[in-house]
């Protein structure tokens, strides 16, 4: 006999996970819409983590639901509701902030101009069949696939709320071709030239890009994870950093730290010695400025969390239109992975460093994971 379902408005057993510093409390709760969701919060002690989690659950249960969606609802209105739901998923660590940015961009640049004023019941298979080839022709096959995912998500949301009985996107053929361009890694000479270019650019220095770039290459973390790092997550004596958060922007709330999108995203990373030295210097500066341990290692100009989107824009401005015009924040992650691969580290070790769940089923079964890899730190000594 299975366990009885959670009563509406209640939560299940609270579980705890030991972090490098503190604890993470996790539980499932059932909202007033009947949906069971996972939620987690962290704190310096079990008691504080539990208190933060209970407060978050109480806040979620107070969130009112919107009005009903019907077949006569405008596609634009349903898309706004769907996007708000996706924002909550990002805040809960279920969806990557980059994915949300792509969805929003696709809606604004392509989808809403085609379907925004139609009623959802008017978004038919023939209309969809005419739309996706246009996106492919104007942009690319990859854009057309993203458009298909976005439109399908909005219509699936309408089905879930009873506005439609079936999702017409299911009748649309998959969009083939246009393989995704892979990120390129910086060569040793390019790494030196890139850092030299940043150091000579007063605006890049003012936006703290040289040290941020060094940290990204020293760890291979995502830019949102780097900007979410607090000093309390750094152990300079052990030479490690605990990666347990990412920065996202939530509508109506601003920037906040939230769980990574998977448990594999929570990891303890050993640092190369040059990166430890860099962080020691930054910590001395932070102490001189009376910044608390629960403050960002890479803050904005006011000492608070830094916006990943604005930071990516700053990197684009700093790279210029020639030479490094191809460089994005993901290039530094690719660079770290390439250095570790060339050093002969296993795919499992590299996946653990990057926070990937599973490089393959075979490697999951036959290789251990989760340990702090000093081999990765040794390999990354050669970044600079």
Contact 226, 299 (CB under 8 A): no
The 3-state DSSP class for residue 296 equals: strand
Q: How confident is the model at residue 183 (pLDDT cuts 50, 70, 90)?
A: low
pTM, 2 dp: 0.61
Question: How high is the pLDDT of residue 243?
Answer: 92
Question: How high is the pLDDT of residue 61?
Answer: 67
Q: How confident is the model at residue 365 (pLDDT cuts 50, 70, 90)?
A: very low
- Structural domains in the chain, CATH included, are 15-62 (no CATH), 75-171 (1.10.150.130), 188-383 (1.10.443.10)
Question: What b/e readout covers 124-147, taking b as 16+ CB neighbours within 10 angstroms?
Answer: eeeebeebbeebbeebebebbbbb
Location of structure tokens 């580290």: 345
| Highest mean predicted confidence (pLDDT) among 84-93, 241-250, 254-263, 284-293 | 284-293
Contact 297, 216 (CB under 8 A): no
CA 320, 322, 325, 327 torsion-angle sign = negative
Q: What is the mean pLDDT of residues 266-290?
A: 94
| Highest mean predicted confidence (pLDDT) among 21-25, 210-214, 335-339 | 210-214
Question: How high is the pLDDT of residue 55?
Answer: 85
CA dist., res. 128 & res. 132, Å (int): 6
Structure tokens at 226: 């780097």
Structure tokens at 284: 């001395």
Contact 208, 374 (CB under 8 A): no
> CB-hemisphere CA count at 13 Å for 124?
3
């Amino acid at each position: 006999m299975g366990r009885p379902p959670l009563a509406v408005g209640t939560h299940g057993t609270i579980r705890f996970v030991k972090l490098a510093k503190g604890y993470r409390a996790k539980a499932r709760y059932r909202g007033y819409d009947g949906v069971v969701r996972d939620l987690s919060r962290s704190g310096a002690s079990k008691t504080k983590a539990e208190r933060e989690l209970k407060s978050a659950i109480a806040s979620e249960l107070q969130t009112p639901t919107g009005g009903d969606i019907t077949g006569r609802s405008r596609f634009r209105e349903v898309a706004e509701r769907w996007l708000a739901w996706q924002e909550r998923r990002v805040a809960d660590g279920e969806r990557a902030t980059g994915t949300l940015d792509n969805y929003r961009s696709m809606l604004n640049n392509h989808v809403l101009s085609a379907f925004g004023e139609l009623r959802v019941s008017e978004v038919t298979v023939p209309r969809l069949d005419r739309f996706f080839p246009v996106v492919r022709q104007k942009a690319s096959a990859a854009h057309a696939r993203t458009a298909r995912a976005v439109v399908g998500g909005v219509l699936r949301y309408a089905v879930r709320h009873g506005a439609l009985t079936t999702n017409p996107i299911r009748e649309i053929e998959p969009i083939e071709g246009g393989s995704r361009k892979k990120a390129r890694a910086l060569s040793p000479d390019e790494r030196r030239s890139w850092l030299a270019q940043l150091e000579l650019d007063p605006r890049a220095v003012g936006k703290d890009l040289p040290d941020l770039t060094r940290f990204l290459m020293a760890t291979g973390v995502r830019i949102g994870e780097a900007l979410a790092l607090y000093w309390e997550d750094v152990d300079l004596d052990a030479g490690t950093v605990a990666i347990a958060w990412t920065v996202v922007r939530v509508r109506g709330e601003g920037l906040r730290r939230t769980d990574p999108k998977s448990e594999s995203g929570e990891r303890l990373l050993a640092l190369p010695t040059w990166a430890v030295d860099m962080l020691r210097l930054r910590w001395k500066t932070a102490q001189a400025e009376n910044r608390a341990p629960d403050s960002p290692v890479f803050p904005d100009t006011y000492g608070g969390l830094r916006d990943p989107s604005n930071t990516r824009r700053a990197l684009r401005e700093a790279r210029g239109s020639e030479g490094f015009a191809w460089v994005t924040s993901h290039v530094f992650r690719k660079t770290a992975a390439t250095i570790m691969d060339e050093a002969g580290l296993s795919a499992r070790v590299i996946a653990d460093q990057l926070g990937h769940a599973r490089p393959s089923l075979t490697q999951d079964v036959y290789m251990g994971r989760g340990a702090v890899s000093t081999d990765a730190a040794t390999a990354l000594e050669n970044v600079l």
